[in-house]
C-alpha cells in the first residue's frame, strides 16, 4: 500500500486496535467479469455501471477500458461526520475488495484507490471514495510514484492486488 503524506497523517490517527478486520460480508458486494468487443476481460461492481450492456459487454478497449472500470467501480461513503469512522469504513471496503479480487481473479492485477475529502474546501460533509480497476500492460491510471501522489489535493492511497 502506498499513500501520500496527507493520507499518512490520517492513517496515523487510526488506532491499531480499530475494527478493520470486521468488514462487510463479501456477499454484500459482487464483482463481476465481462468481456469487451475483442475478448478482453473487464471487471465491475454488480448493479453499479450503466455503461455495460445486459450481456456484460462493452466496446471500450485498452486505456478506455480502464477508464470504464474507474467510472463503474466507485463506492462513495459519506455516512458519518467523523473522519476516523469514514476512513475506517473506507479501509474496510478496500480490504473487502482486495479479498474478493485475490480470490476470484488471482491472475489479474488491480489497483484499489481510496481518497478522503475532509469537506472543508467546499463546506460539505467529509467523504471517502473507493474505486478499483484492472491494470493492463503494466499501465496504471494513477502513478505508483510517491512523489506523484503528493500532487493530489486530497488524501489518497493505492492498494496493489496480485
Range of weakest confidence among 62-66, 105-109, 135-139, 149-153: 62-66
CA distances to 56, 75, 82, 137 from 112, in Å: 22, 11, 23, 17
For residue 57, which of 46, 42, 71, 47 has the smallest C-alpha distance? 42
Residue 65 is assigned to a structural domain of this protein: no
Residue 44 domain flag? no
- Cα atoms in the Cβ-side hemisphere of radius 13 Å centred on 44: 25
Instruction: Tell me if 66 is assigned to some domain.
Output: no
**39 falls within a domain:** no
Express each pLDDT in 51-110 by its tens digit. Answer: 665 556 778 887 889 999 999 899 999 989 999 999 999 999 999 999 999 999 999 999
How many residues are recorded in the chain?
162
Q: Is residue 136 part of a domain?
A: yes
Q: Is 94 exposed, middle or buried (0-12, 13-18, 19+ CB in 10 A)?
A: buried
Question: Could you tell me which residue, 79 or 150, shows the higher pLDDT?
Answer: 150
- Asked whether residue 43 is assigned to any structural domain, the reply reads no
pLDDT tens digits, one per residue of 8-53: 999 998 865 455 555 555 668 999 998 888 889 999 998 777 666 5
The answer to whether the Cα torsion of 131, 10, 15, 127 is positive or negative is negative
**CB-based contact 42:134 (threshold 8 Å):** yes
Task: Say how many domains are in the chain.
Answer: 1
Report yes or no on 84 lying in a domain: yes
Structural domain boundaries enclosing 13 = 2-28+76-161
Inside any domain, residue 70: no
Amino acid at each position: 500500500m502506498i499513500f501520500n503524506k496527507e493520507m499518512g497523517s490520517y492513517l496515523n490517527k487510526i488506532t491499531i486496535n480499530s475494527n478493520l478486520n470486521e468488514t462487510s460480508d463479501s456477499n454484500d458486494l459482487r464483482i463481476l467479469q465481462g468481456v469487451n468487443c475483442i475478448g478482453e476481460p473487464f471487471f465491475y461492481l454488480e448493479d453499479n455501471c450503466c455503461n455495460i450492456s445486459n450481456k456484460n459487454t462493452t466496446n471500450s478497449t485498452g486505456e478506455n477500458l480502464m477508464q470504464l472500470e474507474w467510472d463503474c467501480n466507485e463506492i462513495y461513503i459519506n455516512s458519518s461526520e467523523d473522519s476516523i469512522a469514514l476512513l475506517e469504513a473506507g479501509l474496510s471496503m478496500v480490504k473487502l475488495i482486495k479479498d474478493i479480487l485475490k480470490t476470484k481473479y488471482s491472475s489479474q492485477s488491480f489497483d484499489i484507490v481510496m481518497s478522503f475529502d475532509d469537506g472543508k474546501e467546499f463546506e460539505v460533509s467529509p467523504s471517502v471514495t473507493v474505486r478499483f480497476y484492472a491494470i493492463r500492460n503494466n499501465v496504471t491510471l494513477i502513478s505508483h510514484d510517491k512523489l506523484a501522489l503528493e500532487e493530489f489535493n486530497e488524501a489518497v492511497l493505492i492498494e496493489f492486488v496480485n
